[in-house]
Amino acid sequence: MSKFFSQAEEQKQSEITNQEKEYALPEKEITDKVIGYFTSGNNVARLNMVERGNLDKEKFAEEVKAYIRNRYTSDDDESTARIYKGFSSFIWGYYILDPLIDDPDISDIVIYDADRVYVKKLGIRYKADIVFKDESDYERFVERCSLRNHVSLSMNNSVQKWTDWSNDKYILRFTAVTKLLASNRTTTIQMRKHPKQKKDFDTLIAEGMLTDEMAEIIKQKQAAGEGFLICGKNAGGKTTLINSMIETIPEQYSIFCVQEAEELFSAKERNFGGYHIIDGRGENKINYSLGDMVTAAQTMDIDVIILGEIKGAEARQFLSAAHTGAICYASTHAESVEDAYIRLCDYTRRVSDMTNEEILYMLKSLKNVIFIRKYRLIEMAECIWNPDKKCLDFKYLCKDGKVVH
């Protein structure tokens, strides 16, 4: 008998006869019971020990399997293995979502309630053919998501974002909006997948995001010590492109990369520091913003500053860094290359008393901008300060998805 059980429990288990064991139950129901047993009452402490590293995971797995065999399956090893797989998927994976996560064509998953799970597959949204057993099953899944990622979903933390790197193939970025704010009184969970295996320029060319000539223009500008602003709509390919561009930044440059969701990284050993923010909302009183981190980067021995996404006040510090000589990369939401600069100007005006002319003059330091739409490079341009008109002019290198000659 496993050491997991107390002496009284061992006696109780040993007294269970074959007739009393719940052999007749469907495996899915048994899996549900096993999950309930090990995630409730005093048994939670054992699971917590595994997650804190105080108990070997394999040892815990054997204890769970022993419980399944003794209570439900006896010597049926195949059934025990299937039930444990379901238990393991709930505890260490994402339960019924695991097949969706494993599907390489699915980029986004959103759950509104037990019966409504949607995916974006190859850019098109579908209702998934899976459902949770009931609302309590879904709520238990939400609770497990928060616990395994050490995230509070209390009333004071009703909007939470986090990133999970535990999957072998994907970085999983989550946004949760709790029942306090949801009209259907059920927590919404949005998940976005980013492959851990980066796509290099050759792959992006093969997939049609850009051409050989476009890639060569980008690499030549990187070699010359120039940065880029990448713009486009949500889920258009901005993060994918920046991740590829990180690999072609010259090796001699030191890189400071800060982001809200940890999706950008270096795939090779180099002088690269990755950082994230702490959002002091709800119960959390500690706050380190994107702007704070960009300011910190300017006091360090850094050549390249990468800001995951500009969407507010951090634009001011980012422009300051670019204007003082740092090689800067960032993404932002915009409808065109020119719209991107208008938005950065607007973000900066909201948090400063600078004039449009002063902001635009600083923006000239952010020389290159790329606009992506639906995973395809549509525009690439250089911005040039026009001293007579006191504005920025744009020299297009690519337009309508083609290189300008």
Instruction: Give the domain ranges of the chain.
Output: 7-92, 96-195, 201-403
The yes-or-no verdict on residue 63 having pLDDT over 80 is: yes
In sequence order, the β-bridge partners of residue 170 are 195
Do 9 and 39 form a contact (C-beta atoms < 8 A)?
Answer: no
Confidence at residue 171, expressed as pLDDT on a 0 to 100 scale: 92
Cα 135 from chain centroid (whole Å): 26
- Least confident piece of the model among 14-18, 19-23, 141-145, 284-288: 14-18
Average pLDDT over residues 331-358: 94
Report the C-alpha gap between 14 and 120 in whole angstroms: 50
- Least confident piece of the model among 15-19, 119-123, 326-330, 351-355: 15-19
pTM of the model: 0.77
| Confidence band for 286, pLDDT divided at 50, 70 and 90 | confident
Higher pLDDT, 122 or 174: 174
Do 95 and 42 form a contact (C-beta atoms < 8 A)?
Answer: no
Architecture of domain 201-403: 3-Layer(aba) Sandwich (3.40)
Could you tell me how many residues make up the chain?
A: 405
The yes-or-no verdict on residue 241 having pLDDT over 90 is: yes
The yes-or-no verdict on residue 405 having pLDDT over 80 is: yes
**Sequence-distant contacts of 134-141: CB under 8 A, at least 24 apart:** 135/186, 137/32, 138/111, 138/113, 138/114, 138/186, 139/187, 140/35, 140/39, 141/90, 141/94, 141/95
Report the C-alpha gap between 240 and 199 in whole angstroms: 7
CATH of domain 96-195: 3.30.450.370
The yes-or-no verdict on residue 103 having pLDDT over 60 is: yes
Report the C-alpha gap between 16 and 67 in whole angstroms: 12
Confidence at residue 13, expressed as pLDDT on a 0 to 100 scale: 47
Do 340 and 331 form a contact (C-beta atoms < 8 A)?
Answer: no
